[in-house]
Chains A and B, each alone.
Chain A
Amino acid sequence: MQKVIETLLIGLTTGSIYALMSLAIVLVWRSTRVVNFAQAGQAMLATYVGFEIASRSGVFWLAVLFAIVAGALVGAGVDYFFMRVLFKHANSGPAAVVAPVIATLGLLGLIRSFVGLTWGGEFKTIESPVSTDGYTVGSTTLPFSPLNTLIIVTVSIILIALAILFQRTNLGLALRASAYAPEIAKLAGIRTARTRTIGWAIAGGVGAVAGMLNTANNFLTPYSLDLLLVFGFIAAVVGGLESMVGAVVGALVLGIGLTIILNYVGTSLVFIGGFAVLILVLLIKPDGIMAKGKGRRA
């Protein structure tokens, strides 16, 4: 029984961090119809900025603030300087299908190399703002610490904030319109290009939080966020790329599923487990769990 509880708790925590990454991916997808593989790279760069602030000031939340700003700036920068140029040039031929995917992959490699050359590959740490000792219930200590609680609370707050943004504000309306029907949005007076950039900036900020929370419990290297990218992406696809709630649900499902495999089957099957979860979901619902069956707009 204890193992079940432990598995659920660990799964919930890892799932929450994946949720942030998959949210960022879905945000970009919904505003640009591009899967941004460089999301992890942007988050990584933002986290290194956060690391610099954290090691100088010792204040975690200040570091997070700087990281969010850095992430948003990088996100906006990537869209403005990179994606627009890309769409201008690469819009014909067989490569049009592949071009955005490859381009963001290239960007990921570029950011990683830049980070590696600037900070080196040594393991860096960021102090967690709260204790990482597990809660003690009676005589047993759970693998669930105040840090895990913090993660879940933070993710929930961000999710609610984004939901309010998208459903209740004009900006949110503009973001949704620019993604689904750009021509009509333009006719309605929405500056779609600028709106898209804002979408990328928000995604960058969210990704930065994911990176910071992930590092608080782990080490920071130019490769440490790769796992986050893969699982965040899988989570986004599982949840259906069209819905933000789906992104979170998908991430939690993935997180718990992976932890079950980790605890009950074996450590080496974790990744292929991710693949299995993904293919299972897509076979039943090719558009992801939360898809409303309206048909894919790939």
Chain B
Amino acid sequence: MESWRKVRDVVRKKIALFVFLGWVLLIVGDRVDELRVYQGAQIAMYTIALTSIVLLTGYSGQVSLGNGAMMAVGAYAAALTLNNLQTPIWFAFLMAILVSALFGALLGSAAARLAGPYLAGTTLALAVGLPAIANQFSFLGGEPGLIFDVGFPPERFGEEFTQYKWFFWIASCIALVAIFVTSNILQSRFGRTWRAIRGNSLAAELAGIHASRMKVLAFTMSSALAGLAGAVLAMNIGLVAPGAFTLALSFGLVTGAVLAGISSLPGVVLGGFILVVIPEIADVIANRLGDADKLNSYLPGLIVSVLLILSVIYTPNGPGENLRKHLRKKAAH
């Protein structure tokens, strides 16, 4: 009885925290201009995508370079549902989750026997190959892609309520819910089991854990999250095209996850923020230095790569871990 009340209190505190965060985001969304609101929606999207990586790589230890492909699956599922079945928006998002979960389950079962570089290679091939399929089948829209139009905000919000603000609201809501749900899953038995598998697969098996089933489950959930992120991306851009899901996206996601702490869920917001802010900063620097076009094309990549290398070498488990180590050292004194 006592433990149930404790769990209920913890969950209630969490809900309160998330609702509070929601209010803060609403207020922020009202105060800033349209560009920032649009970027906010992109940050929310990356946050969801990074959550999928934290679950898959940070917790269950499977290195996948193909999250971009799963995002593509979700985005196309959402667009096809919306355009061909004329369903409400939330149903399109739901389809994105379900379809990419299904793909994830398939991929996971095939990949369960693989590890390390073999898994990385397979997911790499997927990341490169999957978006290109859109060019083969015309119902997928080819290179120009499919339009994904979630429409305009309800009139009662007034004229000043731009479409990008609407996207920001929807994206943030989804992101908050996704993080909330994932955080609960990660703190539950599932999360502990995944960490056991990541640590030592053999020992986990001996302890009675069905390792491959749990791995497939991790893939399924991670892909569902990635698919959801893909649908949010589709909403933000208004377009689902192969060009949005390049190898660079998958690499960028892994980068963001490492920068923010690959097994740290709170870090995903920081990671999303970094992924959106870096091109901004690079843009500013490039403009300051003149000769914009060459610098602009390669400077963001340079900054991201340098950051990535530095963080992998010095804070491989994210800045949070180093901070904790530092605090622990201080406490010991």
Touching chains A and B, CB distance < 8 Å: yes
Tell me the A residues contacting B by CB distance below 8 Å. Answer: 29, 35, 82, 85-86, 89-90, 93-99, 101-103, 105-110, 112-114, 116-117, 120-121, 222, 226, 230, 233-234, 236-237, 241, 266-275, 278-279, 282-283, 286-287, 296, 298
Question: Which residue of chain A lies nearest to B116 when distances are taken between CB atoms in the complex?
Answer: A298
Other-chain residue from A110, A120, A279 in contact with B294 (beta carbon distance below 8 A):
A120
Instruction: List residues of chain B with CB within 8 A of the CB of A82.
Output: 309
Contact A274/B129 with A102-B255, A109-B305, A113-B301 known, Cβ cut-off 8 Å: yes
B232 close to A (CB within 8 Å): no
Contacts of B81 in A (CB 8 A): none
* B-to-A contact residues, CB < 8 Å: 57-59, 61, 63, 110, 113-118, 120-122, 124-126, 128-130, 132-136, 195, 198, 247, 251, 254-255, 258, 262-263, 294-295, 297-299, 301-302, 304-306, 308-309, 312-314, 316-318, 321
Q: Are B302 and A114 in contact (CB under 8 A)?
A: yes
Which among A103, A105, A120 has the highest number of chain B CB atoms within 10 Å? A105
User: Which residues does chain B contribute within 8 Å of A269, judged by CB atoms?
Assistant: 132-133, 136
Contact between B128 and A102 (Cβ–Cβ < 8 Å)? Answer: no
B294: chain A residues within 8 A (beta carbon): 116-117, 120-121
B313, A103: Cβ atoms closer than 8 Å: yes
Q: Within the assembled complex, what's the spacing in Å between the Cα atoms of A86 and B314?
A: 8
Question: For B113, what are the chain A residues with a Cβ–Cβ distance below 8 Å?
Answer: 282-283, 286
How far does the alpha carbon of A51 sit from the alpha carbon of B114 in the complex, in Å? Answer: 39
Task: List chain A residues, Cβ under 8 A from B114.
Answer: 282, 286
Majority-rule SS of A interface residues = helix
Select B297's contact among A116, A237, A272, beta carbons within 8 Å.
Answer: A116
Tell me the nearest residue of chain A to B143, going by C-beta.
Answer: A268
Q: Which of B117, B129, B255 contacts A106 (CB 8 A)?
A: B255
Question: Are A272 and B129 in touch, CB under 8 angstroms?
Answer: yes
Please, could you name 6 A-B residue pairs with CB atoms under 8 Å apart, sorted by A? A35-B120, A97-B198, A109-B302, A272-B129, A272-B133, A282-B114
Return chain A residues, CB-CB under 8 Å to B130.
272, 275
Structural contact, B295 and A117, CB atoms closer than 8 A: yes
- Least Cβ–Cβ distance between B240 and chain A, in angstroms: 16
Give bound CA distance, A137 to B276, whole Å.
Answer: 57
| Residues on the B chain within 8 Å of A272, using CB | 129-130, 132-133
Provide the residues of chain B in CB contact with A268, threshold 8 Å. 132-136
A237 to B126, CA, bound (A): 14
Cβ–Cβ contact A29 & B117, under 8 A: yes
Contact A116 B301 (CB under 8 A): yes
Q: Are A116 and B298 in contact (CB under 8 A)?
A: yes
Chain A hits for B128, CB < 8 A: 230, 271, 274-275
Q: How far is the CA of A270 from the CA of B132 in the complex (A)?
A: 8
**CB-based contact B132/A271 at 8 Å:** yes
Does B321 contact A93, Cβ atoms closer than 8 Å? yes
Which chain B residue has the least Cβ–Cβ distance from A226?
B247
Contact flag A35-B117 (CB < 8 Å), given A94-B263, A106-B255, A275-B129: yes
CB contact under 8 A between A110 and B305, given known A90-B313, A117-B295 = yes
Contact among A35, A97, A230 for B61, CB-based, below 8 A = A97
B124 touches A230 (CB 8 A): yes
Residues B313 and A298 in contact, CB atoms below 8 Å apart: no
Q: How far is the CB of B325 from chain A (nearest CB, A)?
A: 11
For B122, what are the chain A residues with a Cβ–Cβ distance below 8 Å?
237, 275, 278-279, 282
B contact residues around A270 at 8 Å (CB): 132
A105 touches B298 (CB 8 A): no
Chain B minimum-CB-distance residue to A34: B117
**10 more CB-based (< 8 A) A-B contacts, given A103-B309, A266-B136:** A94-B58, A94-B262, A98-B57, A105-B254, A107-B309, A112-B305, A121-B294, A268-B134, A282-B113, A282-B118
The smallest C-beta distance from A182 to any residue of chain B, in angstroms, reads 18
- The contact of B63 among A98, A109, A275, by CB within 8 Å, is A98
Neighbouring B residues of A89 by C-beta, 8 Å? 313-314, 316
Closest approach, in angstroms, between the C-beta of A70 and any C-beta of chain B? 20
Bound: A278/B117 CA distance, A? 13
* Shortest Cβ distance from B261 into A: residue: A95
CB distance from A172 to the nearest CB of B (A): 23
With CB as the reference atom, state the residue of chain B lying closest to A89: B313
Given the complex, which residues of B lie within 8 Å of A267, measured CB to CB? Answer: 135
Contact status A94-B298, CB under 8 Å:
no
* Residues on A with beta carbons closer than 8 Å to the beta carbon of B299: 113, 117
Residues of A within 8 A of B61 (CB): 94, 97
Closest 10 CB pairs of A and B: A109-B305, A272-B129, A271-B129, A298-B116, A113-B302, A268-B135, A106-B308, A116-B298, A95-B316, A110-B305
- A54 to B314 CA separation, bound complex (whole angstroms): 40
Indicate if the CB atoms of A109 and B118 lie closer than 8 Å: no
Residues of chain A with a CB closer than 8 A to B129's CB:
271-275
- Quote the shortest CB–CB distance from B171 to chain A (angstroms): 27
By beta carbon, the residue of chain B nearest A230 is: B128
Smallest CB separation, B108 vs chain A (Å):
12
* Residues in A whose Cβ lies below 8 Å from that of B136: 266, 268-269
Whole-angstrom distance between the Cβ of B270 and the nearest chain A Cβ: 16
* In contact, B298 and A98 (Cβ under 8 angstroms): no
